[in-house]
């Protein structure tokens, strides 16, 4: 949505006295090279972060093997992001920050209306925080700072904020800072997306009972999540962790297209609200009741019909390559992922008005760009913009249920009762 600022990071020769997993550096203004104290420096999607001192310097330690994004942000300056892998450590960086200048997209000129939380707050929380029980226990402390723009012609809304979102997740016991870079909901296409950089901090629990409750809730959020699934793919133990994978593809519903064409051509018409008529040799005859019900049933079907592979997929069938730091996976069409160790949350059924009993949790993954993605031991993946989730994960894997990448579950894998 908004232009990501240019990042000026200069690598200096690391001193040998630094630990092998250390990042040190200094944050300064790009215009006059003065240090910027109080800048937030963190590894995105983890609980590892710090702030710069009065001289703009910072230091981070103990990073496990993986690929990361180092985020440097300060009020009034453009966010800087540096992607690195653990193989490059230790690092010593000099970060030059530009003064923030917000620019709206200028590729397509389209009138818009700027509005506030009262108008779009529910839309934002549903698509960003989520609609799960955990999300209901979250609070955005500075929600008044979020601004929205609605584009009537394209029927979409975007959101932006000039400071990190301050989120309290009382269900999982986290304080979260989220640097929102992109948020958009397209109502006609019925999809949403958001992107940003997040830092987790444990909340203080005065009682061991509270801490144990948070631990249980975190484990429940982890098991069955996309992060859990990708970790199991990386480890090659998908079956043992409770997952099954199938290929899924969609084909046009030719019968629905045929019935629609009958109406459009006038061969089938509607008289009043119920009676169906068919034109034969210029005469109108009542359509039999069975045919009426059949046509109505077909028109309620989706425009595309889902088809599934005859057998479950193995990890090797989607694995392209293996390196010391990551593995590459690729699949065509859709990858259906079934988590068999837990049933759907009843809140999921209520949210989508599904009048049935809870079943296995079923999600679909789609690669909009037909290229491989890299997955890492911690359950992260790259590029993050090349994975779309649908089904259960589109409901459950939002900020309200998000865990840091350095999270490790306490309880063992659950078994379905």
Residue-wise pLDDT for 29-67, tens only, equals: 999 999 999 999 998 888 888 999 999 999 988 666 677
Domain boundaries, the chain: 8-97, 104-210, 226-249+306-396, 254-301
pLDDT given for residue 274 in this prediction: 46
Q: Which residue has the higher pLDDT, 315 or 73?
A: 315
Q: Between the CA of residue 246 and those of 232, 233, 342, what are the distances in Å?
A: 15, 14, 18
Does 8-97 carry CATH code 2.60.40.1120? yes
Q: Which two tokens mark 29?
A: 């203004």
pLDDT band for position 278 (cuts 50, 70, 90): low
- Name every residue whose Cβ is closer than 8 Å to that of residue 204 and which is 6 or more positions away in sequence: none
Residue 69: count of CB within 10 angstroms of its CB: 17
pLDDT at 20 > cutoff 80: no
* Per-residue pLDDT reduced to its tens digit, 66-125: 778 899 988 888 888 888 877 788 889 999 999 887 655 444 568 888 889 999 999 999
Structure tokens at 147: 């601004």
Beta bridge partners of 114: 149
Judge whether residue 241 has pLDDT over 90: yes
- The whole-chain average pLDDT of the chain stands at 86
What pLDDT was estimated at residue 6? 38
Note the helical H segments in 32-131.
117-124
pLDDT above 50 (res 17):
no
Other beta carbons less than 10 A from residue 404's beta carbon: 22
Q: In what order do the strands lie in the sheet with 40-43?
A: 49-51, 40-43, 67-73, 80-85
The pLDDT assigned to 349 comes to: 96
Q: What is the pTM of this model?
A: 0.80
Q: Is the pLDDT of residue 416 over 50?
A: yes
């Amino acid at each position: 949505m908004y232009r990501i600022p240019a990042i000026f990071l200069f690598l200096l020769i690391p001193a040998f006295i630094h630990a092998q997993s250390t990042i040190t550096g200094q944050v300064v203004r790009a215009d006059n090279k003065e240090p910027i104290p109080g800048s937030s420096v963190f590894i995105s999607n983890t609980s590892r972060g710090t702030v710069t001192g009065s001289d703009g310097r910072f230091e981070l330690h103990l990073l496990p093997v993986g690929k990361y994004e180092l985020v440097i942000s300060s009020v009034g300056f453009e966010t800087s992001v540096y992607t690195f892998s653990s193989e490059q450590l230790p690092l010593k960086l000099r970060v030059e920050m530009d003064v923030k200048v917000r620019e709206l997209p200028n590729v397509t000129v389209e009138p818009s209306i700027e509005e506030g939380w009262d108008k779009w707050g529910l839309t934002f929380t549903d698509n960003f925080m989520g609609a799960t029980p955990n999300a209901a226990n979250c609070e955005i402390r500075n929600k008044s700072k979020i601004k929205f723009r609605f584009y009537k012609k394209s029927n979409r809304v975007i959101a932006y904020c000039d400071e990190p979102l301050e989120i309290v997740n009382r269900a999982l016991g986290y304080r979260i800072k989220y640097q929102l870079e992109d948020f958009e909901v397209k109502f006609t296409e019925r999809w949403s997306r958001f992107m940003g950089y997040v830092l987790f901090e444990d909340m203080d629990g005065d009682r061991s009972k509270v801490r144990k409750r948070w631990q249980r809730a975190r484990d429940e959020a982890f098991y069955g999540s996309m992060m859990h699934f990708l970790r199991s793919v990386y480890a090659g133990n998908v079956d043992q962790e409770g997952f099954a994978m199938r290929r899924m593809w969609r084909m046009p519903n030719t019968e629905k297209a045929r019935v629609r064409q009958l109406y459009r051509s006038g061969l089938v018409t509607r008289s009043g609200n119920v009676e169906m008529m068919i034109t034969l040799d210029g005469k109108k005859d009542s359509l039999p009741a069975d045919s009426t019900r059949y046509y109505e049933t077909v028109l309620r079907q989706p425009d595309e019909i889902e088809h599934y592979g005859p057998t479950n997929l193995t990890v090797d069938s989607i694995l392209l390559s293996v390196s010391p730091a990551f593995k590459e996976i690729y699949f065509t069409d859709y990858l259906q992922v079934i988590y068999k160790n837990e049933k759907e949350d009843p809140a999921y059924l209520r949210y989508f008005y599904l009048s049935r009993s809870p079943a296995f949790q079923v999600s679909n993954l789609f690669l909009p760009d037909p290229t491989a993605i890299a997955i890492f031991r911690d359950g992260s993946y790259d590029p993050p913009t090349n994975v779309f989730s649908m089904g259960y994960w589109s409901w459950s894997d939002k900020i309200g249920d998000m865990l840091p990448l350095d999270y490790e579950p306490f309880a063992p894998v659950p078994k379905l009762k």
